[in-house]
Amino acid sequence: MAIGGLGSGLDFLFDENTAEVPVKRTLRLSEIEPNREQPRKTFSEEAISALADSIRQYGMLQPILVRPYGMTYQIVAGERRWRAASLLGLEEVPVIIKEFSDKETMQIALIENLVREDLTPLEEAAGFRDLMDQFDMTQEAVSKSIGRSRSAVANALRLLQLPQPLQELLECGKITAGHARALLAISDPDLQLETARRCAEDGMTVRAVEKLAAEQAAKAEKPAKKRKTTDQYYKEMELELTDRLQRKVSVTYGRKKGTLMLEFYNKEDLASLAKQLTELAEQEF
């Protein structure tokens, strides 16, 4: 089964054009069991209580999606609704019964979790990565499955590159995802951490971080260009000497001085090398 865009909830699973017609009915709560492999391990008691109040007032507006599982039925999507119904003491709940493989069940559970509104940026990014790693999905496929743009998925995945101290600041809400993405552009680890602390403690803005990152990149770029030209000169000289002297030549350099290393094998070879160097000194390179 191809997993498409979610649209509203998981309505894409119940497309009337599908060859597999899902069965709509009610089941007793005792006939339904949660998926023990469900990637979401914790549920907010406060959120479940609020959902239970909504169900008490308006009823369960969206059925729970289940699949046949031995003598019972296993939840594919809708465990929060099942928990809220249990909290209310309901005996039966509306369900949609549909056949799914273990792989499809896990994939749907991951996608359902990703459309929640209470995910942290890092939880969301980890969910995108899990879909890509476990189900060989591309960024484009992930974006379609959750109804987001591909660039939004790509930007979220970048957060997983953050060093651990910055991930902790993001996870506890001391910096925003915007701050985090701007901080990734700072290549100096010490400056990156110091800037993150300024964001968390002094309220440094995202735009200020972006400006700082751009300034650092500009400073790093200028000496890099000069160094590249210098590197090429010494490399060419090394090759020229190797060709003329017919031996291994190594040229290294630092800020104020360099080293020329010439290989020789015995006294006679050293005398020959000295003669070659004398002749070369009289020529122009």
What are the catalytic residues?
Answer: 79
* 9: CB partners within 8 A, 6+ apart: 62, 115
Q: Can you read off the two tokens belonging to residue 78?
A: 């809708």
Angle at the Cα of 166 from the Cα atoms of 165 and 167, rounded to 5 degrees: 90
Residue located via tokens 């273990």: 102
In whole angstroms, what is the distance from residue 6 CA to residue 111 CA? 8
CB 34 within 8 A of CB 109: no
CB 3 within 8 A of CB 146: no
Query: What letter would DSSP give residue 47?
Result: H
Q: Can you read off the two tokens belonging to residue 54?
A: 């909504």
In whole angstroms, what is the distance from residue 145 CA to residue 115 CA? 10
CB 157 within 8 A of CB 129: yes
Query: What letter would DSSP give residue 14?
Result: G
Strands 92-97 and 64-69: parallel
Closest CA to 78 of 70, 86, 99: 86
Helix, strand, or coil here: 81?
helix
In whole angstroms, what is the distance from residue 106 CA to residue 216 CA? 44
